[in-house]
Amino acid sequence: MTDSASNSQWLDDLHTPCDPEIFRRALDVWQAGGQFKLRKSKPKQKGLYLADIPVNRSAMATIGFLKARGVENTQAYLWRTMHFGQLLEHLQPNGRLAKYVKPGSDKDSMMVSEALLDAVAIAPVKLPNDPAAEACVFDIEEIARIAEEIWRADSGGDDEDGR
């Protein structure tokens, strides 16, 4: 609805939660999508085309994945996958979300818990008209709160480390 403070259908749809299972798969598609070319040859007609760069490849692969599954609010998924890197500083050893990650198999990788990924999928995004945000950003405290709820529900509340 465009009656909200954003007065924008795009921002309203961006703010909607994502299905966590589809979001996790969309994030996989985003990460893999940058490796594939957008087109096999140069366009034959003159016009404007997306540059064949990794971010555009990932975005188009993700949009294709979502549309094939009938997802209507693609911008909510696309924004969350595109901006997932904003969370990296919070995933570092002393970061707010550190308990939800562990080192991966090589020195530059990490394994992220499903509780955290699900929290990112459903947590609201702070919109530009939010006094606490200059642009659309993740609400880290809300993600941490939701991830903790999911973790405790999945683990029976026994383990504190979040993984």
pLDDT of residue 124: 87
Predicted confidence (pLDDT) at residue 5 exceeds the cutoff of 80:
no
What is the maximum span of the chain, computed from C-alpha positions, in angstroms? 61
Q: Looking at the domain assignment, is residue 45 inside a domain? A: no
pLDDT at 133 over 50: yes
18, 78: one domain = yes
Instruction: Note the pLDDT of residue 154.
Output: 86
Same domain, 160 and 93: yes
Asked if the structure places residue 106 within a domain, the reply is: yes
- Find the distance separating the first CA and the last CA of the chain, reported in whole Å: 37
Q: Residue 161 pLDDT more than 70?
A: no
Angle between helix 20-33 and 74-82 (nearest 10): 60
The predicted-structure confidence for 47-103, as pLDDT tens digits, reads as follows 888 888 888 899 999 999 999 999 988 999 999 999 888 898 898 888 999 999 988
In a shared domain, residues 95 and 120: yes
Please check whether residue 121 lies inside any domain of the structure. Answer: yes
Is residue 152 located within the same domain as residue 112? yes
The contacts of residue 139 (CB under 8 Å, 6+ apart) are 123, 124, 125, 126
Q: Is residue 141 part of a domain?
A: yes
Using the predicted structure, report yes or no on whether residue 145 has a pLDDT greater than 70. yes
Residue 144 domain flag:
yes
The range of the structural domain enclosing residue 95 comes to: 86-163
Question: What percentage of residues in the chain have a pLDDT greater than 90?
Answer: 42
Q: Which amino acid is at 85?
A: G
- Amino acid of residue 25: R
Nearest CA among 73, 78, 62, 86 for reference residue 16:
73
Whether 131 and 156 share a structural domain: yes
Does 72 share its domain with 101?
Answer: no
Quick one: pLDDT at residue 6?
45
Bridge partners (DSSP) of residue 110 are 103
How far is Cα 29 from Cα 87, in angstroms, rounded to an integer? 18
pLDDT tens figures, 17-35: 999 999 999 999 998 988 8
Higher pLDDT residue, 11 or 31?
A: 31
Structural domain contains residue 93:
yes
**Residue 2 belongs to some domain of the structure:** no
Q: Is the pLDDT of residue 1 over 50?
A: no
User: Could you tell me if 99 and 144 lie in one domain?
Assistant: yes
Does residue 91 share a domain with residue 76? no
**What local confidence, expressed as pLDDT, does residue 2 receive?**
40
Q: Which of 97, 104, 134, 89 is nearest to 31 (CA)?
A: 104
In total, how many domains does the chain have?
2
pLDDT at 66: 96
Supply the mean pLDDT for the chain. 84
In-domain check, residue 43:
no
Q: What are phi and psi of 57, to 5 degrees?
A: -60, -45
Q: What is the pLDDT of residue 129?
A: 67
> Does residue 120 sit in the same domain as residue 155?
yes
- Selection from 32, 19, 123 nearest residue 69 by Cα: 19
